[in-house]
Every structure is written in structure tokens, then in C-alpha cells.
Amino acid sequence: MATTLETINTLINDRRRDTTSNSIDMTTDGFRAIVGTLQLWNSEHNWPWQITKTEITYNEGIDTYALPQNIAFKSFVDVRPKAQARKSQEFEFMSNNKFDSDTIYTYKFAYKTEDQKKYLRLKYGGQTQVLNNAIKVTDNGTWVGATAISNVAADLYESFGGRGSLKFDYSGTTGTLTNPDMTVKNVERYAQRSTIYFDIFLQDVTNFTSITLKVGSSASDYITNSITTDYLGNPITAGWNRCSLVWNGTTAVVGTLDTTRFNYIQTTIAYSSNPSTVSNRIENFFISENVPVVLEYYSNFMVTDISAGAKLQSFNDSGATGDTTLWTEEWDFVNEAFINSVLEMVFFMTGEVGDQQIVMSKVRDLIAPLKAKLPSRQRYPKMQITPDLNL
């Protein structure tokens, strides 16, 4: 049976009348007490009703993935391949500062935050193929600049990947860089199940508009997309950016592709006004198959907004009494402890208990038996000891 906000309101007032002969306004103090209790319960434990899953697309050659902002991620439970044949493969959880230097584990993951955003670091396995390194003008086909792009040349010193890049000047508002005759690549296995990546260095992005990428079997047969962010969804910045074109069943296709003969790449870089820059750079066009991986995690969600059909961290409308907690049916036994926890909050708000620390202690005492009965499955990074070889 669902535990609704109305049920909680009724139980609280029933028990309060038993002890003080007074009810409490559940749209003000009572509602604040419920919200505060939900927040405290969430911070004190990882509850089984908070476990959920989301799918991450892994690409070989890429080790950082943005976690969706709307999943209210709290902590890891597990990471597993989605494919049934691969589900037995274990991923080692390690700290982010050990992820790059580790050479022991083939499958591993880590967690990092940067600029208030959450990221999954992931190393797994998948197929990848270089389309064009773009480190020499004529090494693999010929790179030609047009309109706003000129002075295309090799740069052996500045590189995102460390092998070199192509540099070019930009003057205007729309410029193309095209390689129409590179070595033929058979990408049949990647068709509609892959992502194409490349690295680009822009000196100025003040009036940057977009990068349109075309990749295909000729100038009239290609897949294409307009790119306005890096592959993580962050704004394009001055300096190096890694960008991507997802190739799936919804990707725009022009003409008739021959997936066994990809030999054409074109980038169109657009600005709203002329940046007039020199020594921009581009390199490393590669394609990587999309490998689905399932991330199982604890969210911060505690309730459901019935009208919106969405999970929330707390009730947000005292009048939406049909909204429910996430603990329903098999976890109904937690209601007793939750109602008593709310009552402790009510007693503090109404001044019947003057010491907040006493209230918090009582609530934790109410939670403790449930934590033992419903233990957390949270995974923690593997402890690694690095020996000092100088000793």
C-alpha cells in the first residue's frame, strides 16, 4: 500500500492528539517537519528504495562520462555490462586520483566532480578505428581549407593526443576544412551503433556558433550533425576541446552511404562575427562502437510527485497530499520509525523540546534498527597502497 503525504499527515496528528490534545497545521510546521525528516533520513543512510539504474554508453578511447544531472546521484552500487553475455565481468572501483596511473585492472571505474558536475570514469573494452590522424596535410588524403580557413599546415609540437595536429588560420564567419580523398575505411560494423570523435583547438570562442561535421563515402553521401558543445555537453572553450557525432538510427544521413568505403571528412566552423585568429588546430578523427553499460546507484530521491510522474528528493507541495514516499508495499514497516522521527522534529519546532541535538539523537536512534535490517550496498573505492621505491 502506498504511503501518501495524506497518510503521514493523519498519523502525525493522531499521535500528537494522543500526547498533547492538540493538532498541528500540516501545511506549515507539520510540512516543514516532514521535509526536514526526509532530508535527515536521506543523509543518514542509503535506503533500498533509493536504488535505481541508468545506462551509460561506453566508447573505447574515452574514459570520462557525464552523469545525467536529473538522476540525483548519491553513491555507487555497481557497474555492469548490459549485454547478457558480458554480465559476469567485474569492474574494480577505485579513487579518481588512481584511475589514470593504474595499470593492473582492465575493467575499472571511478567517480569525480568538477565545476559542480558529476562524472563517471570508466575503462572497459570495445572496438575503435582511426579515420584520420590529421597530423599532416597530405599524409592520408589531402586536407584543404576554404572560405574562412587558410594556411593549413602540420604542427608537430602542439597536440591534444601527443602526436601532432593540423594548424590553420581563421578569418571570416564560416570556414571549411575538408579531406575528400583519405584512405578508404570499412566502418560497416560501426553503422548506427557508434560515435565519431575529434579534437579541436580554437583560439577564440567569444562569437563561436557551431561546428558541422560530415563523415561519409563522398561529398554527397555522408552522416552529419551540428556541434555546439564538447562531447560531455560543456560549452566549447578557448583551447582544446573533444567533440563528437553520435551515429545511431536518428543521425541525419545525406545521400546513400557506402559503409565499406568511408573516405570523406569535412568540418565547417561558424562564428557570428569574425574572430580573426591564427594557429587553431584539429586532429584525431576516430570512430568507436557504442557499448551499453548499466550503472546501478543510490539516488537522493525519497518521494514521488504523482501529478508529474517524477521522483523527487522531498515533497514540494503541502497541498499535493496524494504524493507518495518511495517506500511502499514491502517497506511499509518503516512508517512507524518515520512518523516518530517527524514527531521529534515537530516537538522541536513547537518548542516542546528545546535542544536540537537531543532531537537529532532520538531520530538517529529510531533509524538505527532499520539501518541494521536494511544494510547499505554502497561500494567504496579499493584501497591502494603505493610503495615508496626510494626507501
List, in order, residues 6 or more apart from 217 with CB less than 8 Å away. 257, 258, 259, 261, 262, 263, 264
Mean per-residue pLDDT for 283-294? 97
A 10 A CB-CB count for 203 gives 15
Q: pLDDT tens for residues 303-327? A: 999 999 999 999 999 999 999 999 9
Mean per-residue pLDDT for 255-281? 98
Q: pLDDT tens for residues 25-41? A: 778 888 999 999 999 99
- pLDDT of 1 higher than 70: no
pTM: 0.89
pLDDT grade for 184, boundaries at 50, 70 and 90? very high
CA distance linking residue 337 with residue 370, whole number of Å? 8
- pLDDT of 387 higher than 60: no
Grid cell for residue 148? 574562412
pLDDT of residue 388: 47
pLDDT grade for 144, boundaries at 50, 70 and 90? very high
Grid cell for residue 24? 498541528
**How do the domains of the chain map onto residue ranges?**
5-47+302-373, 55-127, 129-291
- pLDDT of 210 higher than 70: yes
Q: pLDDT tens for residues 3-29? A: 999 999 888 888 765 555 556 777 888
pLDDT of residue 349: 78
Q: For the chain, what is the mean pLDDT? A: 92
Q: pLDDT tens for residues 357-376? A: 888 899 999 999 999 999 99
Greatest CA span in the chain, whole angstroms?
88
pLDDT of residue 70: 86
Query: Above pLDDT 70, what percent of the chain?
Result: 95
Q: What is the dotted CATH code of the domain comprising 129-291?
A: 2.60.120.260
pLDDT of residue 88: 77
Which amino acid would we find at residue 371?
K
Query: Above pLDDT 90, what percent of the chain?
Result: 81
Mean per-residue pLDDT for 93-115? 94
Mean per-residue pLDDT for 189-209? 98
